[in-house]
Structure 1
Amino acid sequence: MISADDLAALVRAYNPRSDGDLIRRAYAYAEEMHRGQVRRSGEPYFMHPVEVAGLLTEQHLDDATIACALLHDTIEDTRASYDEVERRFGTDIARLVDGVTKLTKIELNSAETRQAENFRKLFMAMAEDLRVILVKLADRLHNMRTIKHVPPEKQVVKARETMDIYAPLAGRMGMQWMREELEDLAFAVLNPDGRNSILRRFVRLQRESGDVIRRITADIEHELWKAGIEAEVQGRAKRAFSIWRKMEEKGIGFSRLSDIYGFRIVTHSAADCYAALGAVHQRWTLVPGRFKDYISQPKSNGYRSIHTTVLGRDGKRVEVQIRTREMHEVAERGVAAHWSYRDGVRTANRFAVDPAVWLRQMTERFEESADHAEFLEAVKLEMYTDQVFCFTPKGEVVKLPRGATPIDFAYAIHTNLGHRTVAAKIDGIRVPLWTRLKNGQSVEVVTAAAQTPQATWIDIATTGRAKSAIRRALKAERRVGHVRLGRELARAAFAHMGKRATEKALRTAADALGYDDDEDLLAAIGASQLTARRVVETLYPELAHGSPVPDVDPARAIVGVDPRAHYDRAPCCQPVPGERIVGIANRGRGVQVHAIDCPRMVEFEDQPERWIDLQWAPGHHAASHAVTVDLTISNDAGVLGRICTLIGEQNANISDLRFIDRKPDFFRLLLDMDVRDAEHLHAVLMAVDSDSDVARAARHRETAAAVAAAQRTAQPV
């Protein structure tokens, strides 16, 4: 825990004129008031306000805010009173502490009417003194960092409140680093499996590709050096929740996500920013549609930076932000930069937005609104910057992710409206369907009864709902054409055999081949997923082959063994039909069947009298030949079940599985299954190996050591 002297020294490092005595007195008073109180973790409660104060020193805040952080729970949780705090530390600090106390009592996750009223209180308290919310945000951040000691049901409530209210509020305050950490901490509570999955994939990616951040940082530094630009280059991996949100918005998996690393160039001047941008674009290819200039067009919270995405090493996307030192200060600390001290005086950052202006606009708007729903909509329009809230012509609000288009807007209202969209108007002006929507815009969708979804819409849409609806409609449209083509192909194939493709014949074939009905069968033929010849062969195998192919008796699957002799497949090589085989006679134990390339055959080279020429019986073999497969799969929820399902879909039966290595990110196991022949085994391995969570799928054969051990026990005839 930080001591009083250390805390005072931290403040004095950025504010030499700091009143160290004030901070030490606040520290001592808070320690006395909280004496005997403990947190759920068993630690002294006083550790919490000290940690909150430490967080605020990182934002270079003034003495009063640091003192408030130390005292913020005294009026609420101890015998201290407002009058006592005012007498000891002055009116300014007492009001700050009282403001934080009132914020703590606000229930932001209550019913809509109460939530609207509590939001009013929240913003009124902020309007009186913004430092109140800065203390409250730091308080929430430390509580989220230590939330594991809170009962599970309360963890969920606090995490949801953090995700819905405090994280967006920190973002609206321009404190992006705090927003990202709050979101990630809440994500760990609300969806721990999802977060752990992202982290495991990061570990795997780092192991496979090495230190990407260091290499790309060095590349950028080299290009800036060649251009004669002095700048600091920073690189980092994006947080798990940021990755998860992007996966959800784009509807893609982690393996298809490209820009998971972010890089920042901090220069001395705006001119250097544009020069650095030129150096980056000259060296790497710009990704179209991924360039934004927030220097010439700053965000409403004062954020300024150039954003660009380029194709870096190995064609991977790399996101680069370019800004000056002053811009960087605002980007990191947001409105806290408005209160920052340097050399004992408040530092005027020309890029920092005066929060009083925004808060005044907010409170004026709230006072004009008597309707709770309208009020909450206004709050969301201002706070949830990662979402877009647009209006229908009737004034209804439609919530969409940032980057949404009129196509997403139409499908968010109704699927049929989306299907019939031909154009859109934004604020009365006709715009292309790929236009990105912004907060507060009024969107009108123009429709036509004969319109149908277009394939290009999939690239225009950003929401999963719109993309899924478009794909379903396109699939249904393609299906009509596939059924028509499939019917003609089936008619021709049946006619070639002197038969008619009647509905009953097609229904019978569909049932035999596992299709729901004859239309599904025809669609599969038209889509080249099934041949018409296969349908004819299913119904009339004698006509297709001349004579039926016999099924092989499993007890007589091998030709060349005396019918009275016993034989078995060697466990070392597990031969299957389709592979060349040889028999080795063993005294009293019949014949053991080996694959011709089995490593054990070397030991019998000087015993030719024991060799028996064998072959597999012709015909269809039953799926009764056991083989062992060596699998390495991701240690993620549902992966093993999915792999087992894949094997079952290939009509192979799993008889046993054994884990031989367990790692935090991977499992290695041996899986025994029954197959028909070598072709069947190849199909199973190909299906399993194509899964993105399978690192290796190979047939398992005994090791050299096992073979040597077997040699010592072999008994000649």
Structure 2
Amino acid sequence: MLTINEFASRLKSYLSTEQVNLVRRAYYFAEQAHDGQIRRSGEPYITHPLEVAAILADMHMDHPSLMAAMLHDVIEDTGIEKQAIQKQFGEVVANLVDGVSKLTHMHFENKTLAQAENFQKMALAMARDIRVILVKLADRLHNMRTLGVLRPEKRFRIARETLDIYVPIANRLGMHTLRVELEDLGFTAMYPMRSRLIRQAVQRARKNRKDLVSQVQKAIATRLEEEGLKGRVVGREKHLYSIYRKMRNQRKSFSEIMDMFAFRIIVDSVDSSYRALGISHNLYKPIPGRFKDYIAIPKANGYQSLHTTLFGMHGVPVEIQIRTQEMEDMANNGIAAHWLYKSGEEALSGSHARTRQWLKGVLELQRNAGDSLEFIENVKIDLFPDEVYVFTPKGHILELPKGATPVDFAYAVHTDVGNACVACRIDKKLASLSQPLQSGQTVEIVTASEAKPNAAWLNFVLTGKARSNIRHLLKSQRRNESISLGKRLLNKALIGFETSLELIGEKSIVQQLEQLGINSLDDFLEDIGLGNRMAYIAARMLIEPEDSSEKKSQLESSKSESPLSIRGTEGMVISFARCCYPIPGDPIVGHVSSGRGIVIHSDSCHNIAEIRHNPNKVLEVEWDKDVKGEFTVELQVELEHQRGMIASIATSITAVEGNIEKISMEEKDARFCVVQLLVNVTDRLHLARVIKRLRVIKGVHSINRLREI
């Protein structure tokens, strides 16, 4: 069992005597606070904080982190408050301890709102001070090491939580060593039999190929020495969970996974890395397409290395990673490695800056997310990246998850670029906004000042940033449109009282709304616009209660006098029914649909026949004389079987500036077929021109406009 004296002597290798004494003080404070508390293993509780601190010391973490590790359970388990810790050890340590304490009771059994909110807490704690999550990861690692004393179902739950949440975070922070151990411990706890079988198989395979491994290792080391290159060659073991995951995901046998040797070459400089690569390629033939340069283009978590795969002795594949010692430390400890090398502003360079950028993005997601479940959905996308690297027109590199589109790229450049995106060029050629990007492509975004995000983008965007910003803007746009429509509807209703919102006055309105428990006029108008409140009832609420019966009849009689004008530019709060497809020129009515606003139907539509005269559900509307936009109409064309008929129809519609939204065809009999068309037109006159153009096509037998389904 580790003692404080042994631990303190280890710290002297990289901390000053004063800093070591501060860590000692934190230990004695925690020891006193936890006095009498015993772990389930039977050991004194203080052994846990000491082991957590030891894990962080192996990563050469700074003394405030080690002090926080010693004290991380004090607030939660002993009743000592944050203020007492702040008085004893300062604000930085107190904030770290408080941050870790708030993450103590995190349960991830189900994808519930509680889980999401806890994960949100973790992400925000990371954003405030990355050391909070490093202490928490070390705490989780020691708990996983001592999992054996718990009940099987609890072991399984904690292991699942570790693999689902903590492993991806460790991976995102580049902490390979800690991640691998968490994965293997989690795998063993969840699937003890599978773990045991794979471990035994690995031990047998290691014995069988021991000579071959040493021969390859010696051959590489000898060639480096002959070329005068300082470097060491070490074998790289595949860990259990990695083998299991590859066997499961790639459907490969154990022998296929293990039939590959892996080595790491550690050299003294970046220049030597590329020289070692050349030497390796001269020694054994490289396998085409298996070379990756993560030194020139580091991974998102700061990982840097050269990767290559060679045909080794007897044709056995040999994986080689080549890197400097600093890159090796970074690969093993990730963000924690900065406490090994940092000096002043250097701490904000390299992957530390990238981590800060990612955490800044996490905060932005949190601000835009509607709720915690949406937030966790967006962040989890970023926690499991399989990256592609693309270039901006100026040559800057952006890392995106595999399958990302130009819209994801636009939001990665800047939120404003994403919001104003209208088109893109990939390698200088116009391309679809939904096209998945490939590594090495140069992407240019075309923007327009009046552009707005399209709801259809949500069907193909991949990154959390793009998804959350699109949703946020659509919600904002919908709210603004709802408020605008609500104001028009309310003013229309108030005409019956020979008044308007302006005449009633803001002060009077606010007083009335307060009595009704409504927060603001905008909320009130939004409810009306969305159809959650009827305009004429809302109007009565705002008018003085006296003479309400007379005013009610006045109001209801006025409803039929001035129909609401439909302009076609109202946005998402006015939609057009897909059962009867009304277009400008058709007689229409408005169905007030709760949560959707107003749905416009043709006056003769069967779907609203039952509610046609219900003033609570149906609104009198008419087309504005300056109505704008395109409206969908459904046509059924019966025609003879002839080659090229579909092309003739498409050409004819395009010639009169119509736009085909959807087209389908089915056979009626041996001679005739029926084509169903959804066509976008501006009004009835435009539709007449489309139909007239279709009639002159040879072989067209009949054309019908479908009104109701």
Return the TM-score normalized by structure 1.
Answer: 0.53
Structure 1 Cα separation of the partners of residues 36 and 181 of structure 2? 31
Structure 1 Cα separation of the partners of residues 402 and 114 of structure 2? 22
> Which residue number corresponds to residue 123 of structure 1?
123
Structure 1 Cα separation of the partners of residues 18 and 375 of structure 2? 41
Decide whether aligned partners of structure 1 residues 349 and 232 sit closer, same or farther in structure 2, where only a CA change above 3 A counts.
farther
Structure 1 Cα separation of the partners of residues 437 and 204 of structure 2? 44
Q: Is 1:301 the counterpart of 2:274 in the alignment?
A: no
Local SS of the residue matching 1:321: strand
Structure 2 Cα separation of the partners of residues 380 and 36 of structure 1? 40
* CA shift for structure 1 position 123: 1.0
Decide whether aligned partners of structure 1 residues 371 and 83 sit closer, same or farther in structure 2, where only a CA change above 3 A counts.
closer
Decide whether aligned partners of structure 1 residues 79 and 119 sit closer, same or farther in structure 2, where only a CA change above 3 A counts.
closer
Local SS of the residue matching 1:340: helix
Q: Deviations over 1:335-372 (max 9, x none)?
A: 11233368x98975854423322211111122112155
* CA shift for structure 1 position 189: 1.3
Decide whether aligned partners of structure 1 residues 106 and 15 sit closer, same or farther in structure 2, where only a CA change above 3 A counts.
same
What amino acid does structure 2 have at the position aligned with 1:353? Answer: H
What amino acid does structure 2 have at the position aligned with 1:16? Answer: S
* CA shift for structure 1 position 110: 3.9
Q: Is 1:209 the counterpart of 2:215 in the alignment?
A: no
Q: Deviations over 1:140-162 (max 9, x none)?
A: 00111111111111000000000
* CA shift for structure 1 position 391: 7.1
Within 5 Å, give how 1:606-645 maps onto structure 2: none
Within 5 Å, give how 1:286-435 maps onto structure 2: 286-340=286-340, 348=347, 350-354=349-353, 355-385=355-385, 390=403, 427-429=433-435
Decide whether aligned partners of structure 1 residues 259 and 66 sit closer, same or farther in structure 2, where only a CA change above 3 A counts.
farther
* CA shift for structure 1 position 113: 2.3
Within 5 Å, give how 1:140-151 maps onto structure 2: 140-151=140-151
What amino acid does structure 2 have at the position aligned with 1:88? Answer: Q
Decide whether aligned partners of structure 1 residues 289 and 377 sit closer, same or farther in structure 2, where only a CA change above 3 A counts.
farther
Structure 2 Cα separation of the partners of residues 8 and 93 of structure 1? 19
Local SS of the residue matching 1:197: helix
> Which residue number corresponds to residue 175 of structure 1?
175
Decide whether aligned partners of structure 1 residues 259 and 372 sit closer, same or farther in structure 2, where only a CA change above 3 A counts.
farther
Q: Is 1:238 the counterpart of 2:238 in the alignment?
A: yes
Q: Deviations over 1:294-329 (max 9, x none)?
A: 111111111111111112233222211111122222
Structure 2 Cα separation of the partners of residues 358 and 121 of structure 1? 16
What amino acid does structure 1 have at the position aligned with 2:192? Answer: P
Report if the CA contact (8 A) 2:405-2:436 is conserved. Answer: no
Decide whether aligned partners of structure 1 residues 4 and 430 sit closer, same or farther in structure 2, where only a CA change above 3 A counts.
closer
Report if the CA contact (8 A) 1:327-1:351 is conserved. Answer: no
What is the Cα-based RMSD across aligned positions, in Å? 3.0
Report if the CA contact (8 A) 1:258-1:316 is conserved. Answer: no
Local SS of the residue matching 1:229: coil
> Which residue number corresponds to residue 165 of structure 2?
165
Q: Kindly, what percent of the aligned residue pairs are identical?
A: 41
Structure 2 Cα separation of the partners of residues 432 and 393 of structure 1? 11
Unaligned runs of 5+ in 2: 388-400, 409-430, 442-459, 467-709
Within 5 Å, give how 1:183-194 maps onto structure 2: 183-194=183-194
Of the structure 1 ranges 235-244 and 162-171, higher mean CA displacement relative to structure 2 is found in 235-244
> Which residue number corresponds to residue 80 of structure 1?
80
Unaligned runs of 5+ in 1: 396-424, 443-717
Q: Deviations over 1:48-79 (max 9, x none)?
A: 11111001011111111101111111111124
* CA shift for structure 1 position 15: 2.4
* CA shift for structure 1 position 291: 1.5
Report if the CA contact (8 A) 2:434-2:461 is conserved. Answer: no
Decide whether aligned partners of structure 1 residues 372 and 83 sit closer, same or farther in structure 2, where only a CA change above 3 A counts.
closer
What amino acid does structure 1 have at the position aligned with 2:289? Answer: G
Structure 1 Cα separation of the partners of residues 176 and 261 of structure 2? 16
> Which residue number corresponds to residue 112 of structure 1?
112
Report if the CA contact (8 A) 1:60-1:341 is conserved. Answer: no
Local SS of the residue matching 2:236: strand
Decide whether aligned partners of structure 1 residues 329 and 439 sit closer, same or farther in structure 2, where only a CA change above 3 A counts.
farther
Decide whether aligned partners of structure 1 residues 389 and 112 sit closer, same or farther in structure 2, where only a CA change above 3 A counts.
farther
* CA shift for structure 1 position 20: 2.2
Report if the CA contact (8 A) 2:404-2:436 is conserved. Answer: no
Report if the CA contact (8 A) 2:300-2:351 is conserved. Answer: no
Local SS of the residue matching 1:353: helix
Report if the CA contact (8 A) 1:61-1:341 is conserved. Answer: no
Q: Is 1:274 the counterpart of 2:265 in the alignment?
A: no
Within 5 Å, give how 1:653-664 maps onto structure 2: none
> Which residue number corresponds to residue 41 of structure 2?
41
Local SS of the residue matching 1:320: strand
> Which residue number corresponds to residue 672 of structure 2?
none
Structure 1 Cα separation of the partners of residues 402 and 301 of structure 2? 18
Within 5 Å, give how 1:515-664 maps onto structure 2: none
> Which residue number corresponds to residue 411 of structure 1?
none
Report if the CA contact (8 A) 1:12-1:20 is conserved. Answer: yes
* CA shift for structure 1 position 117: 2.0
| Number of residues of Structure 1 aligned to a counterpart in Structure 2 | 410
Report if the CA contact (8 A) 2:236-2:262 is conserved. Answer: yes
> Which residue number corresponds to residue 667 of structure 1?
none
What amino acid does structure 1 have at the position aligned with 2:337? Answer: A
* CA shift for structure 1 position 273: 0.7
Report if the CA contact (8 A) 1:390-1:440 is conserved. Answer: no
> Which residue number corresponds to residue 51 of structure 1?
51
Q: Deviations over 1:647-683 (max 9, x none)?
A: xxxxxxxxxxxxxxxxxxxxxxxxxxxxxxxxxxxxx
Decide whether aligned partners of structure 1 residues 258 and 227 sit closer, same or farther in structure 2, where only a CA change above 3 A counts.
farther
Decide whether aligned partners of structure 1 residues 430 and 234 sit closer, same or farther in structure 2, where only a CA change above 3 A counts.
closer
Report if the CA contact (8 A) 1:217-1:263 is conserved. Answer: yes
What amino acid does structure 2 have at the position aligned with 1:56? Answer: L
Structure 2 Cα separation of the partners of residues 212 and 16 of structure 1? 46
> Which residue number corresponds to residue 649 of structure 2?
none
Report if the CA contact (8 A) 1:4-1:23 is conserved. Answer: no
* CA shift for structure 1 position 98: 0.8
Q: Deviations over 1:185-209 (max 9, x none)?
A: 1000111222222111112212322
Decide whether aligned partners of structure 1 residues 108 and 339 sit closer, same or farther in structure 2, where only a CA change above 3 A counts.
farther
Local SS of the residue matching 1:297: coil
Structure 2 Cα separation of the partners of residues 64 and 225 of structure 1? 43
What amino acid does structure 2 have at the position aligned with 1:74? Answer: V
Structure 2 Cα separation of the partners of residues 49 and 389 of structure 1? 40
* CA shift for structure 1 position 2: 2.6
What amino acid does structure 2 have at the position aligned with 1:15? Answer: L
Q: Is 1:98 the counterpart of 2:98 in the alignment?
A: yes
Q: Deviations over 1:106-127 (max 9, x none)?
A: 3344433223222221111111
* CA shift for structure 1 position 428: 4.3
Local SS of the residue matching 1:107: coil
Decide whether aligned partners of structure 1 residues 122 and 15 sit closer, same or farther in structure 2, where only a CA change above 3 A counts.
same
* CA shift for structure 1 position 266: 1.3
* CA shift for structure 1 position 170: 0.3
Structure 1 Cα separation of the partners of residues 365 and 152 of structure 2? 38
Report if the CA contact (8 A) 2:11-2:57 is conserved. Answer: yes
What amino acid does structure 1 have at the position aligned with 2:138? Answer: A
Report if the CA contact (8 A) 2:127-2:359 is conserved. Answer: yes
Of the structure 1 ranges 299-308 and 259-268, higher mean CA displacement relative to structure 2 is found in 259-268
Of the structure 1 ranges 344-353 and 146-155, higher mean CA displacement relative to structure 2 is found in 344-353
Decide whether aligned partners of structure 1 residues 432 and 141 sit closer, same or farther in structure 2, where only a CA change above 3 A counts.
closer
Decide whether aligned partners of structure 1 residues 378 and 246 sit closer, same or farther in structure 2, where only a CA change above 3 A counts.
same
* CA shift for structure 1 position 231: 1.1
What amino acid does structure 2 have at the position aligned with 1:96? Answer: L
Return the TM-score normalized by structure 2.
Answer: 0.54
Report if the CA contact (8 A) 2:405-2:433 is conserved. Answer: no
Report if the CA contact (8 A) 1:52-1:139 is conserved. Answer: yes
* CA shift for structure 1 position 288: 2.7
Structure 1 Cα separation of the partners of residues 461 and 111 of structure 2? 28
> Which residue number corresponds to residue 481 of structure 1?
none
* CA shift for structure 1 position 393: 12
